Amino acid sequence: MESRCKIIYSLHIVLSPETAPYVLDQEVREPDPEILSLNSELVASDETIVRYLREKEISFIRTGLGLLVNRYLVGNARMASPMNSNGCGRMQLNILVLQQNLKNIEDGVNLSRTSNYFDLFDKGPDAIVAKAKEVSEIQQKMAAEEDGAAPAGEVFTYDELKDLMELCYSQQLNDPERGVTAAAKREMADKMLNLSEFLWQS
**Per-residue pLDDT reduced to its tens digit, 69-96:** 999 999 999 999 999 999 999 999 999 9
Tell me, what's the pLDDT at 145?
A: 73
Verify that 54 and 40 share a domain, yes or no.
yes
Last-in-domain residue among 107, 123, 139? 123
Verify that 56 and 101 share a domain, yes or no.
yes
Verify that 132 and 181 share a domain, yes or no.
yes
Last-in-domain residue among 89, 123, 157? 123
Verify that 62 and 24 share a domain, yes or no.
yes
Q: Are 22 and 82 in contact (CB under 8 A)?
A: yes
Verify that 37 and 133 share a domain, yes or no.
no
Helices 33-52 and 2-15, interaxial angle, to 10°? 170
Residue 192: CB partners within 8 Å, gap ≥ 6? 162, 165
Verify that 97 and 168 share a domain, yes or no.
no
Give the long-range contacts of residues 105-108, CB within 8 A, separation 24 or more.
105/42, 105/43, 105/46, 105/62, 105/65, 106/62, 106/63, 106/64, 106/65, 106/66, 107/62
Verify that 174 and 76 share a domain, yes or no.
no
Task: Please tell me the pTM assigned to this model.
Answer: 0.90
Tell me, what's the pLDDT at 202?
A: 45
Verify that 146 and 191 share a domain, yes or no.
yes
Verify that 106 and 117 share a domain, yes or no.
yes
Verify that 133 and 109 share a domain, yes or no.
no
Verify that 40 and 116 share a domain, yes or no.
yes
* Mean model confidence pLDDT for the chain: 92
Tell me, what's the pLDDT at 95?
A: 97
Tell me, what's the pLDDT at 155?
A: 87
Tell me, what's the pLDDT at 3?
A: 92
Domain carrying residue 44: 1-123
Tell me, what's the pLDDT at 71?
A: 96
Tell me, what's the pLDDT at 141?
A: 82
Low-confidence ranges of the chain (pLDDT < 50): 201-202
Verify that 135 and 67 share a domain, yes or no.
no
Last-in-domain residue among 64, 94, 123? 123
Tell me, what's the pLDDT at 199?
A: 79
Q: How many domains does the chain have?
A: 2
